[in-house]
Amino acid sequence: MSAQGIPETRLQLLSNVSGVFTPGVLTALVGSSGAGKTTLMDVLSGRKTGGYIEGDIKISGYPKVQETFARISGYVEQNDIHSPQVTVEESLWFSSSLRLPKEISKDQKVEFVEEVMRLVELDTLRNAIVGLPGSSGLSTEQRKRLTIAVELVANPSIIFMDEPTSGLDARAAAIVMRTVRNTVDTGRTVVCTIHQPSIDIFEAFDELLLLKRGGRVIYGGKLGVRSQILIDYFQRIDGIPSIPDGYNPATWMLEITNPVAEQRIGRDFADIYTNSAEYREVEGSITRLSVPPPGSQPLKFPSVYSQDQLSQFLICLKKQNLVYWRSPRYNLVRLVFTTVCALLLGSVYWDVGNKRQVLILVTLCFVLKDTTKGLFMVMGALYSACLFLGINNASSVQPIVSIERTVFYREKAAGLYAPTSYAAAQGLVELPYIVAQTILFGVITYFMINFERTASKFFLYLVIMFLTFTYFTFYGLMAVGLTPSQHMAAVVSSAFYSFWNLLSGFLIPKPRIPGWWIWFYYICPVAWTLKGIISSQLGDVETMIVEPAFKGTVKEYVSTVFGIDPDVTGPAVAVLIGFCILFFGVFAFSVKFLNFQKR
């Protein structure tokens, strides 16, 4: 915008906000929509991904260091994001295993998880599958308690909660607030954003930070019994009506501080607050607590993460194994679909592998036509085998990775693990299923199509099919990693599938590809799959072909007409391995450096 001569402007979301949050105190962040409640909490917790932040945040008198702060804090998001295929207990085990110090033994971690489950009243649901919101598994209120528990098992000193009662009925909200209160009573600092709370929920809080639109503070301090301190503060202001008997103090507070009320009394509530004794008391606390206690040292950890990278990888891999094992709609369907497709392909191309041999028939004309037709059928079978299921692999992996990515964003922000550990686990967990898929598909198609039954050719066929399924799967991972949504990943992938199909060297043989497109042939992974399979199966066939435009062996025909070198099998395998590494490497890069979640 500025490059085009349009002046750049910034929208200020928070203005001169100050306050103190202390241990064992439950503080409410309240304000009308657009007041900056969630923005303030994202800034304090270090979750803000955009914008400009000015000011100081101190922990026990020392400047906040985000890497350290992430280790001692928890963040309960408004949207309860969890892996749907794991149980309540497994969710807590995963969080505690990665976030508690490695010096703590396994038995101690298990005991702590048990304690947290009792604290948030989830012990009776330990074996319940989390499921997807609104469709299966835990209820909304149970999911909220699980979200709180996932943070508690990290044993944080400070917990931020973004509207923990949002979307809950009165009973469910009361259960969640009882959980929050239990958490505060353990001596932790807890800060919650809250939107239009009921009287029971509001009076569960100890202190309040009230914001007005524009991100300015209009009250900060204690609430008092039945919010009496808050009520007394506002009723001291001229023009403010008294609260009716039995009226919700939170509702009354929001009504008397809205912009219309400000215009009516002709005063700015933020200015009133900055001239109040309550403000001076808060500023005094800030001044006092901004100085580190004598003899203290800033909190430091020897490493960014609680666990070393190998432990992170193994724990992530264990969780991903659970997710995949309990995803029959993905893996079982994939294997069943592979079997059905293999049988279908084998029946369509039944015994065509033999047709690469010349049939001794009566007329030369019939021999010529059958030989050429048979050769094309063999190549068609090979081409279909590598493309058909490969595209299915890339497409079917995208939904499950897209769901897990939202979980990854939460876990990454919480400092559970390095992104590369997650990426490595995500890639490795696919390989056993791809091996099973390759064996199913390879054995069925190889023997139904009746390719030459030698151990070396069968082994090469399996290796090339395994690499093909792998790079297609990793391509699906990469497409999700590079795009902001599953839908966009599918659209982008489809465009590439079309090019791969057209310029792989089968529909348009290499010698007939236009010169300005030949470069794409060399970087097309399907072309290298085709080279590898055809050269390994037909590269040594000396059967003669006699045509008006060609006379020579099958080996020479493949080389001349399709431009496939009979000796390219080894290089093709190496290139396919390179594509697997490339696609996975780009996926790992996207996981580490790209974040499509904007806050």
How confident is the model over 322-349, as pLDDT tens digits?
A: 999 999 989 998 999 899 989 988 888 7
Mean pLDDT over 476-483 rounds to: 97
pLDDT category, 27, cuts 50, 70, 90? very high
Mean pLDDT over 279-294 rounds to: 94
Q: What is the mean pLDDT of the chain?
A: 89
Mean pLDDT over 34-61 rounds to: 90
Higher pLDDT, 33 or 362: 33
Tokens of 305: 């993460």
Q: Is the pLDDT of residue 468 over 90?
A: yes
pLDDT category, 359, cuts 50, 70, 90? very low
Q: How many CB atoms lie within 10 A of CB 53?
A: 10
Q: Report the alpha-carbon distance of residue 504 to residue 165 in Å, rounded.
A: 55
How confident is the model over 310-320, as pLDDT tens digits?
A: 999 999 999 99
Q: Report the alpha-carbon distance of residue 45 to residue 78 in Å, rounded.
A: 14
Q: Report the alpha-carbon distance of residue 222 to residue 229 in Å, rounded.
A: 7
Mean pLDDT over 461-486 rounds to: 96
Q: What is the pLDDT of residue 8?
A: 53
Q: What is the pLDDT of residue 361?
A: 29
Q: Is the pLDDT of residue 571 over 80?
A: yes
Percentage of the residues of the chain whose pLDDT score is greater than 90: 64
Most distant CA pair in the chain: distance in Å?
A: 114
Phi-psi region of 34 (alpha: psi -120 to 50; beta: other; left: phi over 0): left
How confident is the model over 52-72, as pLDDT tens digits?
A: 889 999 999 999 999 899 999
Q: Report the alpha-carbon distance of residue 129 to residue 476 in Å, rounded.
A: 27
Q: What is the pLDDT of residue 426?
A: 97
Q: Report the alpha-carbon distance of residue 579 to residue 386 in Å, rounded.
A: 15
Q: Report the alpha-carbon distance of residue 471 to residue 195 in Å, rounded.
A: 48
Q: What is the pLDDT of residue 549?
A: 62
What backbone phi and psi angles, to 5 degrees, belong to 415?
75, 35
Q: What is the pLDDT of residue 550?
A: 66
Q: Is the pLDDT of residue 7 over 90?
A: no
Mean pLDDT over 419-428 rounds to: 97
* Amino acid identity at 64: K
Q: Is the pLDDT of residue 535 over 80?
A: yes
pLDDT category, 167, cuts 50, 70, 90? confident
Q: Which of 340-349, 353-362, 385-394 has the lowest mean pLDDT?
A: 353-362
Q: What is the pLDDT of residue 548?
A: 61
What angle (nearest 5°) sits at the alpha carbon of residue 436, between those of residues 435 and 439?
A: 85
Q: Are the C-beta atoms of 81 and 302 separated by less than 8 Å?
A: no
Q: What is the pLDDT of residue 357?
A: 45
The pTM score is: 0.89
Tokens of 226: 């039945």
Contacts of 446 (CB under 8 A, 6+ apart): 458, 461
pLDDT category, 360, cuts 50, 70, 90? very low
For the chain, which domains are there? 11-81+157-289 (3.40.50.300), 309-593 (no CATH)
pLDDT category, 98, cuts 50, 70, 90? very high
Q: How many CB atoms lie within 10 A of CB 16?
A: 10
